[in-house]
Amino acid sequence: MTHTVSPQVRMANDIAMQFQHWTDKDAAATAIANHIKRFWTPRMRADLLERLPADALDKHDRKLLEQLRAGAISPSP
């Protein structure tokens, strides 16, 4: 059985890779969430949220997920 990754998950992973060098992981999660909220359509965000299992995420990813669900853009660090 072949498992394909959705385009939204692939793109979110690509964005996250751009922030992997940040030492403040909470700030990185905020920056990633802000990028997704600014530039992705509501449908793309909904698809991403639907595909991310909260129980499989580390604490920084959970912070990102919470921020995406909240909807508002957070102040930049």
3-state DSSP of 33-69: HHHHHHHCCHHHHHHHHHHCCHHHCCHHHHHHHHHHH
Confidence of residue 40 (pLDDT cuts 50, 70, 90): very high
On whether the CB atoms of residues 65 and 54 are closer than 8 A, the answer is yes
Say if residue 74's pLDDT is above 80: no
Kindly state the average pLDDT of the residues 19-39: 91
CA distance linking residue 13 with residue 7, whole number of Å: 10
Hey, what amino acid is at 36?
I
